Structure 1
Amino acid sequence: MATEIKAPVFPESVADGTIATWHKQPGEAVSRDEVICDIETDKVVLEVVAPADGTLASIIKGEGDTVLSAEVIAQFEEGAVSGATQTQAVQSEEKVEQAAAQTEAGNAPIVERQQVQDQAPAVRKALTESGVAAADVAGTGRGGRITKEDVANHQAKPAAPAAQPLSVAVGERIEKRVPMTRLRKRVAERLLAATQETAMLTTFNEVNMKPIMEMRAQYKDAFEKRHGARLGFMSFFVKAATEALKRYPAVNASIDGEDIVYHGYYDIGVAVSSDRGLVVPVLRDTDRMNYAEVENGIRDYAYKARDGKLGIEDMTGGTFTITNGGTFGSLLSTPILNTPQTAILGMHKIQERPMAVNGQVEILPMMYLALSYDHRLIDGKEAVGFLVTIKELLEEPAKLILDL
């Protein structure tokens, strides 16, 4: 008896999704909890798994189709693989062999497109951007599937010398057009709305990172041994921002229509770059977290983002955001608000510069800080005071640790 396979129930903040990839085709046998389909929303990629051992009977929603929450996307036959299905599997294998033979005969583009479509979204993206043929990459994933690492390793191999140089017509220019992912489109919409619908202004300051760097160098080994987490700079910034938010509640507020919502909790989003675009998972109740919990939380989110495992609940909410362009070498930038939040802190590259200290010139590791804020709610005095508070807490970390 056929049973329905439905899309996951989306939260209220997600209207619909798009079928990104079918990992199984009608007639193929599947195992319980095996991933059969990926659904891409404007926030995350959701995996649909087989409810039991059986066979995928039919696909109702194809790749690229829009699906609603809990909408039926396929039919599933539960139970042992039938003889007919086994025959179909054999025929499928024969088709693959025929396709391989046709590839040698000159039909490589058709087979290549199918091979690319059979991969996960992140792998398809890597193959497309690198220009590497799927057939040329040795897959090390489950069932011989190609991973992003396989694509990167293939690119790192020295290319075999060409039999003869290729001639390119003078004036020929190559273009490639690919559709935006739902996440990229949603990020674009939110950033554009932030610049058009808020009175955004940015104030800057700089912080001497020497005290934090010395403390980190002294205690990082003991910290990692005790807590199993690497002591980075982000935990200091998260804790400093949390303390500054306590002193300046308007920076932790949001605007809802004509109302101001003052939040009595501190949920700080940390911008993370992923293959699919910028995502902002949220650390909850940072005022109750210690440094190890902050570091472990950020590390776990980074792994989830890398593997495409971030859930919608991981990125919902947030009262303030921190973004670190310094990891990519940025020396100074103006971050854009993550609405409906009213402020965002931008970290940057640590750069040694000559500074005047008590009438003497010293070479110090300095970092520019940028605070973009919504001037409709936050006045310049509050914004500058907030940023100066972070600066003072970082330059005297004892105050931060001792809650002074």
Structure 2
Amino acid sequence: MREPQTFPAPDSGLPALAALAAAPVPVVAAPMAGGPSTPELVAAVIRAGGSGMLAGGMKTPDAVRAEVEQARALLGQAAQPSSAGRSGAGPSSPDMRPDDGADLRLGVNLFVPDAVNTRVPARDGRAAAARRREVEAFAERLRPVASRLGAAVPTAEEATPDPESEQAQFEQFLALAEEQAWPWVTFTFGLPGPEVFARLVDAGVAPGVTVTDEAEARAAVGNGARLLVVQGPDAGGHRGTLDPAAEPGTAPLEEVVREVRAACPSVPLIAAGGIAAADQARAALEAGADAVQAGTAFLRTPEAGTSAAHRAGLARASERNGLLHGSDPEPDSFPNESAPGWADTTVTRAFTGRWARGLTVPFMAEFADAPAAYPEVNVLTGALRKAAAAAMDLDAVHLWAGTGAQKARQVPAAEVVRSLAP
């Protein structure tokens, strides 16, 4: 049995740090943009004794507002088990007690657009024009695939974000964090300026940043981050490098955690990336993390908003490894059943223009040289990915997953929390 970790919390006015430290289970449900993270999933993980994050990426402020309200309503309607399963025992006792800190373990993750990312090198007119040409060329290469799927590919102009709009929406998110009094927020894809962190701390919101190495951790803390999500190379979905053009590191998660802990000894650390079992969670904690974050492990839970295509890919990955759990309703065959690598994952820029890990599919190899242009590439491929998913043509779908994808089980989220408890 693991005793709750005591976070070093220099900010007594940030109650979320204390609530995260006191969580019965040091497991955080990762924010998974694009649908998998739902209020139901986050509330289920928190009710099971963990903590959870809603995914603000690719959503409007109004959509995030509604999800926060829904998650809070779900938490307010439910009681908390008297034991959240720190020992990894079976289902919780029916005896329930209120969990006073549950609402404080609810967080929101936000993407940092280039317009407010202090780690993006300045682009002159020549660099911007070169990037636009790369995006235009990639759009042309995508059109035959999109045509086969009955989808359209936007123009490079349509896919290019407006910096003023990016800044305005980011400001709306910050105002929403203040208005709704989010307990904690993490930033991914970049590092906002110090004034953003100071503003959130003044509002009682604990701000954090996803980092992938020691240098990024130092920069984040230097700008005012009060907690860090330390992401290793086995993570599913996008790598959280602060500079979108940077090559993501390959050092094992435990090594990165040890380095960041040595560099930032008083900052709470949440280790993320490839956490699929209790022994992996334990190893990350022993390396210096205060909690672990898992995403792929929750993708097949009934509470997750994972698409049918994504669930089918994960089921096939599990099946090919002889690790099917429970009765899976997915069909016995898939359009690309013979495709190699279903148990494998690949880090690719093909789908979005930013490095991300997913189940290996042919689209990754065909467009392995996609330009480092997020969000433009993400916009260009959006319609064709949606069409492919609707047709269950998994060859052209982004099936984000970490290296432990074959271990993802079709069980309730609470059971996943218990299975990860160190």
Per the TM superposition, whether the score is higher than 0.5 is: no
Q: Based on CA coordinates, which of the two structures has the bigger radius of gyration?
A: 1
TM-score calculated relative to the size of structure 2:
0.23
Q: Whose strand proportion is higher, 1 or 2? A: 1
